[in-house]
């Protein structure tokens, strides 16, 4: 990644930044806009940008680190007012921040985090607490079913190189340890595809006869996990719990098809990221680190939390 950074910086220095400063244009560089979580976040950014008179361009790296750096080079070369960044991982974020700093382009990070570098503001979720709370939801359900003594829980995780991935795993495992529920292993996602989620879930099922639950550290590929459970003939015997949310969850959780989900608030995160960038550009006070609550949703509280879920989690404005 350092070599990629050097190439980008050297190329830009040779070209020179010839474009005029675009004081009212910002870009959102996102790891993969095809993932619903990021698309919802982009809508929150767009809403705040519209309110403040900014032009917003969304640049998706499609989970490609080289493309992510190319998009960064394009943004600084265009001399945009600022960048909102949702990086592929925390390591690549540090590289992007280094390039942006060389060209005096302010950056607000919206989720994932960084291993280093200077940024204006970091909008995140309390991944440790959110994972801990949804772990408690799962352990309570397993206790109700009498599965907590012998049953195990497997994890299909987001990359553990991400700071938020590490925090999710640590928080969840704390809840499992407190309930004396054993882990059945952790398999990391790489391409976030249906096939990958299905195969990881199937592997956990086949390798752990006492498996009673799968925790998916995401939401959009939930069907892959459910199909693996059904294909194995384990429907009703293995629970599924997720992180984040999909519109279908509003019906699945009350029906018991899904135990629950730790719901981040991506629309609110994106909105707040744009607010902080605007504050910086306008010379106002900026909050360096903002950590938003993750909602532990189950059949017991989903009706009460529905208005918040629709707007801040799913980006539905009524």
Q: Are 9 and 106 part of one and the same domain?
A: yes
Q: Please give the residue range of the domain that contains residue 256.
A: 127-263
pLDDT one-digit tens code per residue, 254-294 = 999 999 999 999 999 999 999 999 999 999 999 999 999 99
pTM: 0.82
In a domain, 298, yes or no: no
Q: Are 249 and 132 part of one and the same domain?
A: yes
Q: Are 84 and 154 part of one and the same domain?
A: no
In a domain, 16, yes or no: yes
Q: Are 185 and 105 part of one and the same domain?
A: no
pLDDT one-digit tens code per residue, 166-181 = 999 999 999 999 999 9
CA angle 278, 90, 101 (to 5 degrees): 50
Q: Are 205 and 228 part of one and the same domain?
A: yes
pLDDT one-digit tens code per residue, 208-253 = 999 999 999 989 899 999 999 999 999 999 999 999 999 999 999 9
Q: Are 160 and 258 part of one and the same domain?
A: yes
What token pair was written down for 156? 């299909």
Alpha helices in the chain (DSSP H): 2-15, 36-52, 65-77, 90-102, 127-145, 163-178, 194-207, 222-231, 249-255, 266-281, 302-308
In a domain, 307, yes or no: no
In a domain, 301, yes or no: no
């Amino acid at each position: 990644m350092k070599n990629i950074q050097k190439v980008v910086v050297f190329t830009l220095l040779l070209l020179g930044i010839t474009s005029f400063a675009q004081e009212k244009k910002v870009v959102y560089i996102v790891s993969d806009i095809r993932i619903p979580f990021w698309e919802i976040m982009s809508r929150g950014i767009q809403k705040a940008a519209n309110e403040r008179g900014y032009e917003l361009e969304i640049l998706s790296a499609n989970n490609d680190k080289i493309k992510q750096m190319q998009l960064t080079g394009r943004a600084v070369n265009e001399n945009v007012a600022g960048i909102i960044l949702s990086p592929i991982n925390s390591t690549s974020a540090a590289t992007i921040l280094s390039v942006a700093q060389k060209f005096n382009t302010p950056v607000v990070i919206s989720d994932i985090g960084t291993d280093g570098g200077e940024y204006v503001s970091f909008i995140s979720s309390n991944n440790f607490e959110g994972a801990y709370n949804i772990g408690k939801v799962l352990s309570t359900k397993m206790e109700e079913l009498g599965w907590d003594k012998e049953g195990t829980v497997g994890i299909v995780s987001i990359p553990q190189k991400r700071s938020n991935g590490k925090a999710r795993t640590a928080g969840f495992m704390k809840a499992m340890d407190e309930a004396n529920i054993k882990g059945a292993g952790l398999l990391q996602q790489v391409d976030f595809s249906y096939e990958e989620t299905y195969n990881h879930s199937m592997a956990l099922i086949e390798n752990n006869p006492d498996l009673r639950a799968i925790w998916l550290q995401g939401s959009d590929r939930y069907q892959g996990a459910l199909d693996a459970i059904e294909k194995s003939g384990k429907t009703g015997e293995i629970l599924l719990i997720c992180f984040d949310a999909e519109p279908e969850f509003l019906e699945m959780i009350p029906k018991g098809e899904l135990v629950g989900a730790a719901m981040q608030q991506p629309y609110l995160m994106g909105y707040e990221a744009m607010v902080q960038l605007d504050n910086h550009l306008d010379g106002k006070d900026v909050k360096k680190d903002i950590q938003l609550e993750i909602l532990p949703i189950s059949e017991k509280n989903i009706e009460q939390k529905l208005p918040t879920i629709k707007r801040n989690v799913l980006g539905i404005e009524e």
